[in-house]
Amino acid sequence: MSTLPRGGWTLLHASAVVRDDQALLAFGSKGAGKTTTALLLAGRGAQLLANDRVFVKVVGEQLRVLPWPSAAAVGLGLLDALGLYDVVRERLQAGEQLHPTQHQDVTDALPAGRREPLWEPGGKRERKVQVFPDQFATWFGMELATGGRVAALLFPCVGPSAVPDVVDGDRALGEADFMSGATEDRYPDHFGLAPGTNGGGDDPARAAVAEQLAALPHHQLVLGHDVQANADFLAELVGHL
């Protein structure tokens, strides 16, 4: 993994699914709905590629993507809303384990049946369930992708009473959509990368990726708290892309 930025790969702050080798990338800040979008689509037949980070590189005339091979963070509330909470709890009760980076408060909450979000002191960051990548397949029955070609960008935003829809807007990619040693808050830059990289790829690679991403279709979405309505909307949207 540490050699990828040295090979021209860039690390994006995005979730991703793949259908017929076409990758859809979901961007946004924490809580925007990246993970929700990816997991709902994965539950509707798409292959899950990445939960929060994805490697991307210009290869010929395509943007190719690879998964970030680490734990995926899913909040207790989202896990419950997606109907996956009881699966996790039953697996843990049977003696299976989640990723060791998980906070002890979350580990204690699951057998106790606590489903509401857990927050760090100060309430700025949610403590989440840390899922091994292969557990999305073995526990949740989702198919995993090993790569794909970027076809479109999604920019979700969740509103409690919103009706899922495509909305007008001029959202474009910014620095926060690219991971770097300076912005990485979960996996600090311990990778031993060669000089000239910042944990998310070198400047020429990032510029090349940004240029190609800017030319692809952009779709701003609003999602609500009705999981079924969100899933139906996303499935229909992807079917037209």
Tens digit of pLDDT at every position of the chain (241 positions) = 445 655 789 999 999 999 999 999 999 988 899 999 999 999 999 999 998 999 999 999 899 999 988 899 999 999 999 999 999 999 999 999 999 999 999 999 999 999 999 999 988 899 999 999 999 999 999 999 999 999 999 999 999 889 999 999 889 899 899 987 544 544 444 344 433 444 567 888 999 999 999 999 999 999 999 999 999 999 999 987 7
Tell me what pLDDT residue 239 has.
87
Tell me what pLDDT residue 240 has.
79
**Domain match, 166 and 60 both:** yes
**Domain match, 107 and 200 both:** no
**Domain match, 199 and 158 both:** yes
pTM given for the model: 0.89
Q: Which residues touch 44 (CB under 8 Å, ≥6 apart)?
A: 231, 234, 235, 238
How far apart CA 163 and CA 225 sit, in angstroms, is 9
**Domain match, 96 and 14 both:** no
Task: List b or e across 170-206, with b for residues whose CB sees 16 or more CB atoms inside 10 angstroms.
Answer: ebebeeebbbbeeebeebebebebeeebbbbbbeebb
DSSP string, 34-46: HHHHHHHHHTTTP
**Domain match, 52 and 95 both:** no
**Domain match, 185 and 236 both:** yes
**Domain match, 64 and 173 both:** yes
For residue 34, how many C-alpha atoms fall within 13 Å in the half-sphere facing its CB?
23
Number of domains in the chain: 2
* Token couple for 31: 């809580």
Tell me what pLDDT residue 181 has.
56
**Domain match, 170 and 60 both:** yes
Helix H segments across the chain?
A: 34-42, 76-81, 85-93, 104-112, 135-138, 203-214, 227-240
Tell me what pLDDT residue 190 has.
38
**Domain match, 127 and 49 both:** no
> What is the CATH classification number for the domain harbouring 234?
3.40.50
**Residue range of the domain that includes 192:** 5-70+140-240
**Domain match, 66 and 163 both:** yes
**Amino acid letter, residue 129:** V
Beta bridge partners, 25, equal 16, 153
